[in-house]
Amino acid sequence: MPLHPPHHPPHQPDPNDLARLLTDVATGRISASDALATLTTGPFSTPNAGGSNAGGSNAGGGTATDRVTLDLDRQRRCGFPEVIYGDGKPADMIAGIIQAQQDAGQPSFATRVAAAVAEQVQAQIPGVRFNPIARTLTAGISDPPLPTPLPRSNDAAAVPDAAEIAHAAVVTAGSTDAPVAEEAIETLHWMGIPFRQFDDIGVAGPARLLAAVPHLREASAVVVIAGMEGALPAAVGGHLSVPVFAVPTSVGYGATLGGLTAMLGMLSSCASNVAVVNIDAGFKAAYLAGLVVRQLQRSA
């Protein structure tokens, strides 16, 4: 007779815990991807559902990376390794990709990683660093970035010949844009691109932007991150002679439509040096800015 595993009673989550989780998603305290990770890996998950996942195996047999075709040649072709989009990927799969990149001597970078998933990846691979604000994982690169590796101080001794150093600038309209800015900064750090950071200088306080303009003019490319009506990139672009990569964020009240209003405003900008990426796409804007800086570094 065939052997059957012992019967386990179905897991019964606490309804109060589930209600709190749904409330946190509805109020924006946590993201939907973080909530999904909690449901699948936390106290709401069903033990041994679909079989054991120990050792990186999945329910259908084999390892979690069996369905991954890793592009280890991308660094040679494109200058940088393949980036891991972490949203929806299990920890074993992300860990397997990172390990393969580390074995190949490539720096690893994963975006949109839920905190619960990041914790599991870190348990499998020592030395992986998680930025909970940016929701990014990095491995095989130098120490974490400073807030402003190139200080924006007026003190000439603090930044000798800052204009001569090819670098990117990351600008936020408000402090609520910080998660997108952190993703951009982690991207630049992974790329090895110097950057300067300018926070909370939105158009509601024009004097703040005007004070930063002399420093922004020293940058080789600028990432501008803004929600609400998305006016800041055009205002910044009108002062500069370098590319401005605008990032609309999903920050704002109902009429902002989750960032759509900001994106359409940025796309409609009459500032000729402004190009727009997707909503909350801090990675994409920083990657483009980093490519600009990299080309200037090569030509120097």
DSSP output for 96-137: HHHHHHHHTT--EEEES--HHHHHHHHHHSTT-EEETTTTEE
Condensed to tens digits (0 to 9), the pLDDT of residues 224-253 reads 999 999 999 999 999 999 999 999 999 999
Per-residue confidence (pLDDT) for residue 18, from 0 to 100: 77
Per-residue confidence (pLDDT) for residue 30, from 0 to 100: 67
Statement: the pTM of the whole predicted model exceeds 0.85: no
d(CA 225, CA 219): 16
Per-residue confidence (pLDDT) for residue 46, from 0 to 100: 43
Per-residue confidence (pLDDT) for residue 43, from 0 to 100: 54
Please give the distance of CA 258 from its chain centroid, rounded to a whole number.
Answer: 18
Burial of 161 (0-12, 13-18, 19+ CB in 10 A): exposed
The 10 Å CB-count burial string (b at 16+, else e) for 4-13 is eeeeeeeeee
Per-residue confidence (pLDDT) for residue 293, from 0 to 100: 94
Average pLDDT over residues 111-128: 94
Taking 50 as the threshold, does the pLDDT of residue 123 lie above it?
A: yes
Per-residue confidence (pLDDT) for residue 142, from 0 to 100: 73
Per-residue confidence (pLDDT) for residue 40, from 0 to 100: 61
Condensed to tens digits (0 to 9), the pLDDT of residues 40-83 reads 655 555 444 333 333 444 444 455 566 778 888 888 899 899 99
Per-residue confidence (pLDDT) for residue 157, from 0 to 100: 45
Who wins on pLDDT, 160 or 9?
A: 160
| Nearest 10 degrees: Cα torsion 244, 110, 65, 120 | -160
Condensed to tens digits (0 to 9), the pLDDT of residues 90-108 reads 999 999 999 999 999 999 9
Closest alpha carbon to 82 in 64, 68, 66, 101: 101
